[in-house]
Amino acid sequence: MIELDNQAQFKINLEELEKIAKKITDKNFELILVDNATIEQINKEYRNIKKPTDVLSFPIDAICEEMPIGSIIISVDFLERGVEYGHSKEDELKLLLIHGLLHLIGYDHENDNGEMREKEKELIKFFDLPESLIIRNEK
């Protein structure tokens, strides 16, 4: 389900990430872990924003069932934020995976009426994770 490209060599538990992914979708997708310099370059190229970000999602319209639904790119440098909020880098990775995957399946917190936030809260509670950035920003 997850096609992993771990360019940052960050140690992950793929089995735990797969559990999260399977709860959200049965489709394949690519997960790319990079550093801030790489994600900044991608952010500039595709969004014309010249700064690093934590997660980028690139959905694609699959023309057959076997094709991945898109790519999620996560900067491992942003995982330190989890430690700042009192949880692990691994939990922050899970939160960013949920966020990115919701974008891949069509949610958009910038244009919806809170549907993505609600779905994210539901998943965070289900997996007993700490509050995500999107929820932390609501306070």
**pLDDT tens track for 85-105:** 888 999 999 999 999 999 999
Is residue 138 predicted with pLDDT exceeding 60?
no
DSSP SS3 for 22: helix
Binning pLDDT at 50, 70 and 90, where does residue 135 land? low
pTM for this structure?
Answer: 0.91
pLDDT tens digit string along 23-50? 999 999 999 999 999 999 999 999 999 9
Contacts of residue 129, defined as CB under 8 A and 6 or more positions apart, other chains included, come to 87, 91, 94, 95, 98, 123
Residue 67 has pLDDT above 90, yes or no: no
Tokens for 62? 């699959």
Query: What is the per-residue pLDDT for 134?
Result: 60
pLDDT value for 136: 57
Q: Which residue has the higher pLDDT, 109 or 32?
A: 32
Q: Is 42 left (phi over 0), alpha (psi -120 to 50) or beta?
A: alpha
pLDDT level of residue 5 (50, 70, 90 thresholds):
very high
Q: pLDDT at position 133, please?
A: 61
